Amino acid sequence: MSHRIALASDHAATAMKAELADWLRAAGHDVLDLGTNGPESVDYPDYGYRLGKAIETGEATFGIALCGSGIGISIAVNRNPAARCALVSEPLSAGLAREHNDANVIALGARMIGIEMAKACVTQFLETAFLGDRHVRRVEKLSNPERSPA
């Protein structure tokens, strides 16, 4: 199944983003590259916010956020209530992020994992369906914290 996938990165992850974009296109996916595309230092929140917005507006069904560790950009993406971004470093987490959390974005750390592990994570993420059922109530609370009694 083909998807529209948005990719965003800071300067630390441009090489991984470019390789993933080419690989995804070769697999038949429509790729939206939200930058950055060079080694000049940039602020990862700017690109994380772009990715969150692309998910919110429906420009993309799924997203892949990349920075050196994956941490900062994942925090930025999650500032948008429409985005559910999970930082993953191996396929099991990527699959569980989809199954249990209906994650629509994964974050990867380009300084933490290699390209083959990144591809394995993306593959698992895209091939795993949300389980629904008892998880629906919980996922709805992620985007609507006012529904939580806490």
- Confidence label for 124 from pLDDT (cuts 50, 70 and 90): very high
Residues 6+ apart with CB under 8 A from 116: none
User: Using one digit for the tens of pLDDT, what is the confidence trace for 87-105?
Assistant: 999 999 999 999 999 999 9
Among 3, 11, 100, 135, which one carries the catalytic annotation? 100
For 114-125, what is the mean pLDDT?
98
Among 3, 11, 29, 67, which one carries the catalytic annotation? 67
Average pLDDT, the chain: 95
Tell which CATH architecture fits domain 4-147.
Answer: 3-Layer(aba) Sandwich (3.40)
Q: How far apart are CA 73 and CA 57, in angstroms?
A: 19
User: Using one digit for the tens of pLDDT, what is the confidence trace for 69-85?
Assistant: 999 999 999 999 999 99
Q: In the structure encoding, which two tokens stand for residue 91, read together?
A: 């396929």
Is 85 one of the catalytic residues? no
> Helix or strand or coil: residue 139?
helix
Is 121 one of the catalytic residues? no
Residues 6+ apart with CB under 8 A from 31: 5, 6, 7, 21, 24, 25
User: Which of 52, 63, 54, 47 lies closest to 3, judged by CA?
Assistant: 63
Query: 132 to each of 59, 91, 102, how far by Cα in Å?
Result: 24, 20, 8
Residues 6+ apart with CB under 8 A from 109: 13, 66, 67, 68, 69, 70, 71, 87, 89
